[in-house]
Amino acid sequence: MMSGRDGVWGEGAVGASAAPPLGVAWELRDPRATRADVVGGKAAALARALGAGLPALPGFVVLPTASGQRGDDPLTLWRRLSDDGRRPLVVRSSSAAEDTADSAMAGRFLSVLDVRGPDAFRAALRAVRDSAASAGGPPAPMAVLVQPMVESRIGGVLFGADPVTGETDRLLVSAVAGGPDRLVGGAVQGESVRLSRRGRAVEGPGPLDRRQARALAALARRAGRVFGGPQDIEFGFAADDGRLCLFQSRPITAMGQRPARGARLLGPGPVAETLPEPLAPLEEDLWVTPLAQGLATALDLAGAASRRRLRRLPVVRTVQGRAVADLALLGLVAPRHRLLHWLNPLPPARRLAAAWGIGRLRGALPGLALTLQADVDRELTQAPAPGELSPTDLVGALRWSRAALLALHAQEALAGALLPEEPSGGGGAGGGAAAALAALRHGRAEGLTDAELAAARPEVLALVPPSLTRPLRLPPQRGLAGGPAPGTLSTREGLRLRVRWVQEYQTRLVREIAARTVAIDRLALLRWPELLDVVRGQPLPTDLAWRRARPSGPPLPDAFRLAADGTVVPERAARDAGAAVGASTGRASGVAWDGTGEPPEDAVLVVRHLDPGLAPALPSVVGLIAQTGSPLSHLAVLARELRLPTVTGAADAVDRFPPGTRLLLDGATGEIAVRTGAPAARESGTHGSGTRGSGTEVRG
């Protein structure tokens, strides 16, 4: 059965009462029928397809009643196309707002199937036109497309590129037995297969035989050339002779981003331990820049990367205000090719120098670390209170703190890489967390406030990340009884604790500057050079009043690359057959909602089917999860246009995620996680985190 991606009525749903004049019509083979401004996007695309020799069906388009154009009598063309009513027809909308590169208007207007007889044709024509007003369509009258109805043996949707990942070397096909109407309407999920540009199946068995797959691949290539880009095509293989029919072609809207060529693999990695929260611009410059420089110094000294490469590729940077690391530079991902496991990529001379240098470093590092810690302790102990510092002294203190952080980060990284792990507890070398928990226990027992406890026992600062704007809040007392006994800190933990102390010292310096100039939340929007200028007496930047703090979104993925425009593209892993499928990229966290009653502010709509009737609810939610349905259905298409993170094929989603469940979903990978105690947020068009911390249970 032939169907457009619209609401569908059968003949019996349309009355046969008298109708006003029908207007004029153009055959699709008429060159004028390619004018989308007159006939609408759907009819114009099919007219172009026919003219280019693509397997579109013949037909005609009834122009809007106010078009002012000359043409043929629609009833005359109907008799010719239907063989005087003996051949059933399909009557569909063709609006100027449909099937554009920006919006498909998928599922908004009416289609009428199996239209027989002149009265039924008039009624169908009127019903389709009326659907423009009832569906909130464009104010201009709508054209109406008329074509033969074809019974399909198999039908579906063909995407000339992967709409989720943006891959243009892959075709995505979703098909069902019969016509594509049940698939695009969300009633059935269909079988999906990814094809190469030549029609070879590269993922999923799919419902197609080799001949059909090759025919679809050829159609995708030809349509891409005709229309100038990848197309979203509805197709069917006719039941009588197996020929391929093109029912509809339109640009792929809201296609997913692809990583830029040569984009590095990034992720929170180990830097999330130090800087887990989104950072203001000044926090980036105070804490991320020394961290990146320190790690680069460590990699250079260890011979792990060349200085030229380290100058070109930052080890640590920020994305959406969050600190992320180059996972390959830090050795956190396996080489792309297995051969590299057996080859040392360093040039021989540098390998020899690195080996010699590492031996010397391993022997000298403990002493160097103790000296550095003593120097930092002395500076912090002897430093005057920030309020007593002159502007010149404030600049000097800030410069010292950045240099100290660079050295501390470099030695901490080297200690972690080169020194053997030291035994903890029992009076031996241990971790900063044990010391901090012990200090917290004692401080709580003494009734100290957070500020008093941090001043008396600065070890507790290891329990909280630095922040210029947030007040210090130590963890609650629950769960602190018992804990590990602290020992002497290991070399690395001693260095790490000094990092946190220096960061806290910087916080106090910057807050003193804010007390003399502007509120801290505004000062935090400056960059490092601007801060120094302000301390030296220069006026605040003229645009500071218009700068805004970054909105807090979901965490970043564990691993991702950046598109050319900076969009986060999660690294896709191989998926098991039958797993949930990401249908619209982005990550969102929120509260499960079943679509009844008023949605919560951060609603994630969880449904059994991708019913097109749910479309009005999509702008009110932050994410969408469906048990069944195709990534190519109406609602999935609309979700991508709205940049709404969407997952389909999530087994038992309605039962597993009842209303009120806090969820994190990834519309690129299809992962769904149940979260506890996490603030809800939505990151539109971009990709947040898959970090599975405490209180997160992966369920999708």
pLDDT of 648 > 80? The answer is yes
Backbone angles phi, psi at 424, to 5 degrees: -110, 160
CA-to-CA dists, residue 475 to 264, 431, 449, 493, 665, angstroms: 36, 18, 12, 20, 28
What's the token pair of residue 264? 């590095």
CA atoms within 13 A on the CB side of 368: 15
DSSP state of 72: B
Residues in the chain: 700
Encode pLDDT of 541-561 as tens digits: 999 999 998 887 778 888 899
DSSP-based three-state secondary structure for 341 = helix
Alpha helices (runs of H) in 269-390, residue ranges in sequence order: 271-274, 281-283, 289-301, 307-312, 348-382
Q: How far apart are CA 271 and CA 248, in angstroms?
A: 49
Q: How far apart are CA 413 and CA 73, in angstroms?
A: 80
Which pLDDT score, from 0 to 100, does residue 16 have? Answer: 38
Encode pLDDT of 28-62 as tens digits: 999 999 999 999 999 999 999 999 999 999 999 99
DSSP-based three-state secondary structure for 260 = coil
Is residue 360 within 8 A of residue 486, CB to CB? The reply is no
Which pLDDT score, from 0 to 100, does residue 357 have? Answer: 63
DSSP-based three-state secondary structure for 592 = strand
pLDDT of 681 > 70? The answer is no
Is residue 665 within 8 A of residue 623, CB to CB? The reply is yes
Q: How far apart are CA 180 and CA 190, in angstroms?
A: 9
Using 50, 70 and 90 to split pLDDT, how confident is the model at 682? Answer: very low
CA-to-CA dists, residue 319 to 263, 315, 666, angstroms: 13, 13, 18
Strand 244-251 and strand 231-238: pairing?
antiparallel
Instruction: Provide the angle, in degrees to the nearest 10, between the axes of the packed helices 391-418 and 528-535.
Output: 150
Using 50, 70 and 90 to split pLDDT, how confident is the model at 65? Answer: confident
CA-to-CA dists, residue 28 to 34, 49, 123, angstroms: 8, 10, 22
Query: Residue 408, Cα to own-chain centre: how many angstroms?
Result: 35
> First CA to last CA across the chain, in angstroms?
35
CA angle, 673 then 677 then 683, to 5°: 60
Is pTM beyond 0.85? Reply is: no
Is residue 55 within 8 A of residue 245, CB to CB? The reply is yes
CA atoms within 13 A on the CB side of 162: 23
Contacts of 693 (CB under 8 A, 6+ apart): none
Instruction: Provide the angle, in degrees to the nearest 10, between the axes of the packed helices 491-516 and 391-418.
Output: 160
Q: How far apart are CA 361 and CA 333, in angstroms?
A: 25
What's the token pair of residue 548? 């805004």
Is residue 174 within 8 A of residue 160, CB to CB? The reply is no
Nearest alpha-carbon partner for 102 in 686, 666, 643, 648: 643
Q: How far apart are CA 109 and CA 129, in angstroms?
A: 9
**Which one has a higher pLDDT value, 607 or 140?**
607
Is residue 518 within 8 A of residue 540, CB to CB? The reply is yes
Is residue 603 within 8 A of residue 615, CB to CB? The reply is no
**Edge-first strand listing for the sheet containing 89-94:** 7-9, 110-115, 89-94, 143-148, 60-62, 25-27
Strand 646-648 and strand 581-584: pairing?
antiparallel
What are 191's strand-pairing partners? 175
Average pLDDT of the segment spanning 314-338: 81
Using 50, 70 and 90 to split pLDDT, how confident is the model at 154? Answer: very high
Which pLDDT score, from 0 to 100, does residue 352 have? Answer: 45
CA-to-CA dists, residue 340 to 299, 315, 327, 345, angstroms: 19, 21, 16, 8
Is residue 649 within 8 A of residue 579, CB to CB? The reply is yes
DSSP-based three-state secondary structure for 6 = coil
Is residue 142 within 8 A of residue 563, CB to CB? The reply is no
Q: What is the DSSP secondary-structure string of 643-691?
A: T--EEE--TTHHHHS-TT-EEEEETTT--EEEESS---EEETTS--B--
Nearest alpha-carbon partner for 524 in 501, 540, 536: 540
DSSP H or E stretch at residue 439? helix 432-445
Alpha helices (runs of H) in 52-101, residue ranges in sequence order: 74-82
What's the token pair of residue 537? 């007496």
Which pLDDT score, from 0 to 100, does residue 348 have? Answer: 43
Which pLDDT score, from 0 to 100, does residue 689 have? Answer: 34
Contacts of 206 (CB under 8 A, 6+ apart): 173, 175, 191, 192, 193, 213
What's the token pair of residue 332? 């956190």
Q: What's the mean per-residue pLDDT of the chain?
A: 82
**Which one has a higher pLDDT value, 222 or 496?**
222
pLDDT of 347 > 50? The answer is no
- Residue 333, Cβ neighbours under 10 Å: how many? 15
pLDDT of 11 > 50? The answer is no
Encode pLDDT of 437-492 as tens digits: 778 878 888 889 988 998 888 988 888 889 999 998 887 654 344 444 445 677 88
Query: Residue 525, Cα to own-chain centre: how many angstroms?
Result: 26
Which pLDDT score, from 0 to 100, does residue 19 have? Answer: 39
Q: How far apart are CA 194 and CA 159, in angstroms?
A: 10
What are 665's strand-pairing partners? 588, 672
What are 236's strand-pairing partners? 155, 245
pLDDT exceeding 70 applies to what percent of the chain?
A: 79
Is residue 447 within 8 A of residue 524, CB to CB? The reply is no
pLDDT exceeding 90 applies to what percent of the chain?
A: 47
Give the gyration radius of the chain's Cα atoms: 32
Is residue 308 within 8 A of residue 263, CB to CB? The reply is no
Contacts of 655 (CB under 8 A, 6+ apart): none
- Residue 242, Cβ neighbours under 10 Å: how many? 12
Q: How far apart are CA 321 and CA 279, in angstroms?
A: 5
What's the token pair of residue 485? 């006994």
**Which one has a higher pLDDT value, 328 or 393?**
393
**Which one has a higher pLDDT value, 627 or 88?**
88
Encode pLDDT of 497-544 as tens digits: 899 999 999 999 999 999 999 999 999 999 999 999 999 999 999 999
Q: How far apart are CA 105 and CA 89, in angstroms?
A: 23
Contacts of 438 (CB under 8 A, 6+ apart): 459, 483, 485, 486
Which pLDDT score, from 0 to 100, does residue 613 have? Answer: 60
Which pLDDT score, from 0 to 100, does residue 265 have? Answer: 93
